[in-house]
Structure 1
Amino acid sequence: MTRFARDPLYRRHRFPADVIAHAVWLYFRFPLSLRMVEDMLAARGVLVSHQTVRLWAEKFGRDFANDIRRRSAGKLGDKWHLDEVVIARGGKKHWLWRAVDQDGFVLDVLVQNRRDAKAAKRLMRELLKGQGRSPRVIISDKLRSYGAAKRDIMPGVEHRSHKGLNNRAENSHQPIRRRERIMKRFKSTRHLQRFVSIHDPIANLFHIPRHDIPSTHHRELRAIAMEIWHQIACLRVA
């Protein structure tokens, strides 16, 4: 078994760094509940409660996600697909606004209580801040709020508005929908926002656009992603 050096990041945690990082990876990489991760760790002889897994996910997941964002800043695609989907909480409607690029990498996700131009403007401002540049083209559904926001925030950018063009953004909502069913809904919009802000950067790291690439190349890209994950999680062989 590979032994990893103890990094200061894991100071005051009694479990080994690789166990903590593996738990965080399992929880955000796959549609698993906290108790499922607890069971999977138990199968490896690691006895830890699902509440401890939750604490690890929140503490370390946030740090890992921020590192991934820094590494990918300005490197994602220049065609932005924007979409919004309704999320009901406490009898009230909220909207999950999402932006992905032409290769399916998530650019940003915001939970808002509006579905209007003000909400669309906020999404676009966050995108410009996070990506550090304007897109070549924006693609959205027929919601007029996108056009109004685009004219104010990015007047020189091309905007294509057609429902059939936006399947990439619509499909990007599916992992969160699956997770929502497993978790029997998120507790609050704040909980949802916190989860997607960690989940989506980690999903980006392991997202390999298929495009009919050979299986050997796919394995190489997956190995590269795992190596980057080890760097982010400060896992160094002792």
Structure 2
Amino acid sequence: MFNERTGTPFNYLEYPTDIILLVVLWRLRYKLSLRDLAEMFLQRGFAFTHEAVRDWEARFAPLLADQLRSRRRGCTGTLWHVDATYVKVQGKWCYLYRAIDRDGNLVDSC
């Protein structure tokens, strides 16, 4: 095992943490396919399957989103807008909102 860290989501990974986070970031940022990412990193000497990329995305994308969202808090400008509505999801009413700043960047959503 490459990484053995007690109490973190990165326990028992076969690849370096920075490589896995780079794969997930490229998947989310550039909308690359699972197989394209596996092929790109194979050329760089890291052999893993597209299923590994899918698992990493499911496991680490929420962590990346939370980390980026927490860093962005407090950095919004003085002008922002909120849209809110109720939607029915599987027969249950849910409150949904989205806040954007002057430049159209997402501030917060639920």
Task: Classify the TM-score, shorter chain.
Answer: 0.5 to 0.7
CA contact (8 A) 2:72 2:107 kept: no
2:16 is equivalent to residue 41 of structure 1? no
- Map 1:15-54; keep pairs closer than 5 Å: 15-54=15-54
After TM superposition, give the deviation of residue 20 of structure 1 in Å: 0.6
Bigger drift between 67-76 and 57-66 goes to 67-76
Structure 1 distance, partners of 2:81, 2:40, is 36
Q: For residues 4 and 65 of structure 2, what CA distance do their matches in structure 1 show?
A: 18
Q: How many residues align?
A: 94
1:84-103 per-residue CA deviation (whole Å, 9 max, x = no partner) reads 9xxxxxxxxxxx97532113
Matching residue of 1:69? 69
Q: Provide the residue aligned with 1:167 in structure 2.
A: none
**Contact 1:77–1:103 (CA<8 Å) still a contact in 2?**
no
> Matched residue of 1:35: which SS?
helix
Name the aligned partner's letter for residue 62 of structure 1.
Answer: P
**2:83–2:98: 8 Å Cα contact kept in structure 1?**
yes
Amino acid at match of 2:61: G
SS at match of 1:19: helix
Higher helix share: 1
Q: Identify the residue that residue 90 of structure 2 maps to in structure 1.
A: none
Q: Which residue of 2 aligns with 1:101?
A: 101
Equivalent-residue separation in structure 1 for 2:98 and 2:4 (angstroms): 35
Whether 1:59 and 2:25 are equivalent positions in the alignment is no
Unaligned runs of 5+ in 2: 85-95
Match in the other structure for 1:190: none
Q: Which has the larger radius of gyration?
A: 1
Q: Distance in 2 between matches of 1:22 and 1:100?
A: 27
Contact 2:4 2:13 in 1 (8 A): no
Q: Do the aligned partners of residues 76 and 7 (structure 1) sit closer, same or farther apart at CA in structure 2, a change above 3 Å counting?
A: farther
Deviations 1:3-51 (A, max 9, x none): xxx5734221111112111111111121212222122112212111111
Give the Cα separation in 2 of the matches to 1:7 and 1:37. 25
Task: Give runs of aligned pairs for residues 199-238 of structure 1, distance below 5 A.
Answer: none
How far apart, CA to CA, are the structure 2 residues paired with 1:7 and 1:73?
31
Q: Which has the higher strand share?
A: 2
Q: Distance in 2 between matches of 1:109 and 1:73?
A: 12
Percent of aligned pairs sharing the same letter:
34
- 1:26 and 1:32 in contact (8 A); partners too: yes
- Is the 2:80–2:99 contact (alpha carbons within 8 Å) kept by the matching residues of 1? yes
Q: Deviations over 1:180-216 (max 9, x none)?
A: xxxxxxxxxxxxxxxxxxxxxxxxxxxxxxxxxxxxx
Relative to structure 1, is the Cα distance of residues 80 and 7 closer, same or farther in structure 2, using a 3 angstrom cutoff? farther
Q: Which residues of structure 1 form unaligned runs of 5+?
A: 1-5, 85-95, 111-238
Check whether the contact 1:81–1:99 (CA below 8 A) recurs between aligned residues. Answer: yes
Amino acid at match of 2:69: R
